[in-house]
Amino acid sequence: MRTAFYISDGTALTSETFGHAILSLFPVEFQHKTFPFIDEAEKAHRAVDEINLAYAENGERPLIFHTFVDPSIKKIITQSEGVCYDFLDHYVAPVQAELGVAAQPKTNRTHGLNQDYNFRIDAINYTLENDDGVTTRNYAEADIILVGASRTGKTPTCIYLALQYGIKAANYPLTEEDMDNLELPYDLKMHRHKLFGLTIDVDRLQSIREARRAGSRYSSLEQCQFEINEIEGLYRREAIPFLNSTHASVEELAAKIMTAARLKRHRY
């Protein structure tokens, strides 16, 4: 299998995103290796050794996706046997011309600390402290409150909203006890403009629950069907916007919720 390397003098998150977006277009399997914080010549030489070894072992030239601030380190990498792609190469000059301002490269500017960083940490803390309906008394502070049956993806989606977008995302599970003549719980009614529902296909819900509590009433097809029917009915009656999480990743759900609920991100 050919190897793809993601190399940077920072976290290499940008190199990974860049390389992965390109490679995902091709029906080819790769072995992936990430080398972050390659910020000294010696580290760069060790990376080159690994690149050249991968080539020697495999016979196909490794693909190298890299972003460097220091041109001397970059030069060591580009002299390896790998095929190098620098994602800044083609864009810095035209953007510079358009802005009429010179680029000022600085390590770790992309994924380092900045003024919005504390906001994201606060959002993560808020989201963890208001997960799974453990408390409803901080909902005035919430940017959004996800509701839905158990195991529909509320928690991971909230965490992603906090981490990626700096959104304070609480979540509240609609559980069995609420199901007869399902009404919006009192604590949610006061914040209904912040509510956003998740639903899921019944057979998918059943298989997720079965993996956690095999053979239980909770994971039976009848119970899953009943809860989803009741909850989707509630969403419709109460005009709560909702999404189906069955075929969506947390990234997709979060991006869709940001748009649908007109949330403003607190990051950049």
Q: Do 173 and 185 meet the contact criterion of CB atoms below 8 Å apart?
A: no
Contact call for residue 218 and its own copies (CB under 8 A): no
CA distance 174 to 183: 10
Q: Which amino acid makes up residue 205? A: L
Question: Of the candidates 111, 189, 192, 236, which one interacts with its own copies according to CB under 8 A?
Answer: 111
Among 42, 56, 59, 94, interactor with its own copies by CB under 8 A:
94
Cα 42 to Cα 48: distance, rounded to the nearest angstrom: 10
Sign of the Cα pseudo-torsion (77, 82, 88, 94, in order): positive
d(C-alpha 251, C-alpha 255), whole Å = 6
Q: What mask, x for binding its own copies by CB under 8 A, covers residues 128 to 167?
A: x--x---------------------x-xx--xx--xx---
CB 33 within 8 A of CB 4: yes
Single out the residue of 52, 92, 187, 225 in contact with its own copies (rule: CB under 8 A). 92
Question: Is 261 an interacting residue with respect to its own copies (CB under 8 A)?
Answer: no
| # binding residues, its own copies (CB under 8 A) | 76
Binding-residue pattern over the window 53 to 82 for its own copies, x denoting contact by CB under 8 A: --------x-x---x---------------
**∠ CA(24), CA(29), CA(30), 5° rounding?**
90
> Which value, in Å, is the radius of gyration of the alpha carbons in the chain?
24
Judged by CB under 8 A, the residue of 45, 191, 256, 266 near its own copies is 256
Toward its own copies, which CB reaches closer, 175 or 229? 175
Longest dimension (CA), the chain: 69
Tokens representing 120?
A: 């994201």
Q: Does 258 bind its own copies (CB under 8 A)?
A: yes
DSSP helix/strand/coil, 26:
coil
Length reported for the chain: 268
Residues in 181-200 that interact with its own copies by CB under 8 A? none
Min CB(195)–its own copies separation in Å: 21
Q: Which is nearer to its own copies, 186 or 268 (CB)?
A: 268
Among 1, 41, 53, 121, binds its own copies (CB under 8 A): 121
Told to check if 226 binds its own copies by CB under 8 A, we report: no
Instruction: State the minimum distance, in angstroms, from the CB of residue 75 to its own copies.
Output: 19
Min separation Cβ 133 and its own copies, Å: 14
**Cβ-based nearer residue to its own copies, 137 or 181:** 137
Q: For the chain, how are helix, strand and coil distributed in percent, rounded to 5?
A: 45, 15, 40
